[in-house]
Amino acid sequence: MLLVEQGVPGLLFFVGLLFAFFIQGERLYHSLSAYPFQQRLLMGAMLSMVVIVAFLLINDLIETDKVGSFFFINLAILVRLDRWWRVRRG
């Protein structure tokens, strides 16, 4: 559905964004082993993103308010935890 609406460049950008999210999320998850609350928060964001991507395979829900907002909130959680970890690490 995304390929039909956005074309090949949009699909490649979206898939690249998802790969970057999950790769960075996995690296950060292992780095946060001493901080269980932050680790659980990150895992919740990553699992929520898995559910959103699974729904996107069925229907184009990224543009709806209910699903699209959680997509960007999950991205923001990852970015915020990554910045927090970099400041904490020094």
pLDDT digits (tens, 9 = 90+) for 36-47: 999 999 999 999
Give the HSE-up count for residue 57: Cα atoms under 13 Å, Cβ half-sphere. Answer: 5
Residue 29: band (very low, low, confident or very high) from pLDDT cuts 50, 70, 90: very high
Contact 18, 53 (CB under 8 A): yes
Q: What is the pLDDT of residues 56-73, one digit of tens each?
A: 888 776 667 778 889 999
What is the C-alpha to C-alpha distance for residues 51 and 85, in angstroms, rounded to an integer? Answer: 26
Task: Look up the pTM and report it.
Answer: 0.88
User: What are the CA-CA distances from residue 72 to residues 29, 49, 57, 90 (Å)?
Assistant: 19, 10, 18, 27
